[in-house]
Amino acid sequence: MIRGPSMTKPFALLACAALLVAAAPPRSPEAIADAALKAAPVFDGHNDVPEQLRERRKNILEGFDFRDTRNTADAKTGQAAMMTDLSRMKTGKVGAQFWSVYVSANLPEPQAVQATLEQIDVTRRLIAAYPQDLQLCVDSACVIAAQKAGRVASLIGMEGGHSIGGSLAVLRQMHALGARYMTLTHFKNTAWADSGTDAPVHDGLTPFGVKVVREMQRLGVLVDLAHVSEATMADALATNGPPVIVSHSNARAINGHARNISDATLRLIGANGGVVMVNFYPVYVVEAARVWAASRDAEQARFKALHRGDPATTDAALAAWDKANPMPRGSVKDVADHLDHIAKLIGVDHVGLGGDLDGVEATVVGLEDVSTYPALFVELARRGWPQADLEKLSSRNILRVMKAAEAYATAHKDDPALENETSF
């Protein structure tokens, strides 16, 4: 039978389309990474610029230019230049940032509360000083709107439960000031939660610690399990609340540091719907760097014992040891290994990035500052990560978790606030 034009045209069009698809060259890893970051800019879970403002400038912003901080090195103190500024954030395709309002866990809790308030204040003042570039956000809708407007959505995270001074009332006031996550501990235990790097005393969360977690969930404050012990992680996950975050931790199967997460707990986080945001600090990334750090601690203790009452000689001996034994830094590939491990174990829906930039003295080679995120995406694209998965890593996963926490808080908005007695 002879087919007329009306019957042959669709087939001809389909054939042409098939030929065009077949003829199209595969996209390069660079093109895949670039497309992913255009569609979903980086939403980083942990950056310590507020700590730098406190340590370097005593929270004085006058004379500070956040557009470019590459000239902030101090030869007298040996302090390196900052890792973060507006110019490099643009290069790095950063669209949203949790700024950590960390204060030392060694502070008495009343002082820690004051210091946290001061850190929230300086963070908000920094954001307000650059209205064309930064926008304070407290929810996912604001993050999306800020990115569309070309500004970096800026959120506040508290690093350590000592920041609330054992008070649910203080937690509520921190939330009112804009805090949207809290890491339950830092490097040492609180009175209600065990840290991953301190001798356990609570076997996880105390009953009050469970109450803290539940009040965070009611408010819509993300529960951050970075720094905490595995028992604390398990207790927090057992509350069956909304998804958690781990704002800057890695996989213990690759690096055995206590700050990292075992496969068993990673599976619990995956089942919870949470996200593990991998960081760039060599001691948590590269096993050889973890071993180096332990050796350095041992040498420091030895020098102190050898030179009792002579800190200058101790410091000189340690400096000489550092010069002879530089820290193994690893590279972008080592960070990608952690992401690969977590994604293969619990799924690509549960990975994110928390670089810990400006909170560490060194990073892996290739991820030295906020301009370098695209290098990691290119490396993952080379390993076969498709654009859709890279978009989940960059920001879609953490936005999903934020939306879930907000939905939980909305559903529980009429629940009474949890209470505890005042301590003084």
Annotated catalytic residue within 44, 46, 194, 340: 46
3-state secondary structure of 249: coil
Of the residues 162, 175, 186, 341, only one is catalytic, namely 186
Sign of the dihedral defined by the CA atoms of residues 285, 287, 291, 296, in that order: negative
Residue matched to tokens 């654009």: 387
Instruction: State the Cα angle at 403 between 262 and 37, rounded to 5°.
Output: 75
**Alpha carbons 335 and 351: distance in angstroms, whole number:** 12
Active site residue 248: yes
Cα atoms found within 13 Å of the Cα of residue 71, Cβ hemisphere only? 6
CB atoms within 10 A of CB 145: 14
351, amino acid identity: V
Name residue 98's beta-bridge partners. Answer: 155
Q: Scan for tokens 């997460």, then name that residue.
A: 261
User: In this structure, is the dihedral angle defined by the CA atoms of residues 105, 111, 113 and 114, taken in order, positive or negative?
Assistant: negative
- CA-based Rg of the chain, rounded to a whole angstrom? 24
Catalytic residue from among 162, 202, 227, 341 = 227
341 is catalytic: no
227 is catalytic: yes
Q: Which residues contact 303 (CB under 8 A, 6 or more apart)?
A: 313, 314, 317, 318, 321
Active site residue 68: no
Catalytic residue among 85, 159, 334, 337: 159
Q: Look-up: residue for tokens 């509350």?
A: 239
Helix H segments across 41-97? 49-57, 86-91
Residues paired with 100 in a beta bridge? 157
Token pair in block for residue 95: 């669209």
As a whole number of angstroms, the distance between CA 408 and CA 183 comes to 19
Active-site residue (options: 34, 48, 215, 358): 48
Q: Is 46 marked active-site?
A: yes
Question: Which residue among 175, 248, 257, 341 is the active-site one?
Answer: 248
Give Cα 37 distance to the centre of its chain: 18
The answer to whether residues 265 and 230 touch, using CB atoms and an 8 Å cutoff, is: yes
Among residues 201, 183, 199, the alpha carbon closest in space to that of 191 is found at: 201
Active site residue 356: yes
Indicate which residue of 334, 356, 389, 406 is catalytic.
356
**Nearest to residue 259, comparing CAs of 286, 229, 222?**
229
DSSP state of 242: S
Q: 279: which residues sit within 8 A by CB, 6+ positions away? A: 46, 248, 249, 250, 285, 354, 355, 356
Which of 330, 317, 341 is closest to 284 using CA atoms? 330
> Active-site residue 257, yes or no?
no
Residues marked active site are found at 46, 48, 159, 186, 227, 248, 356
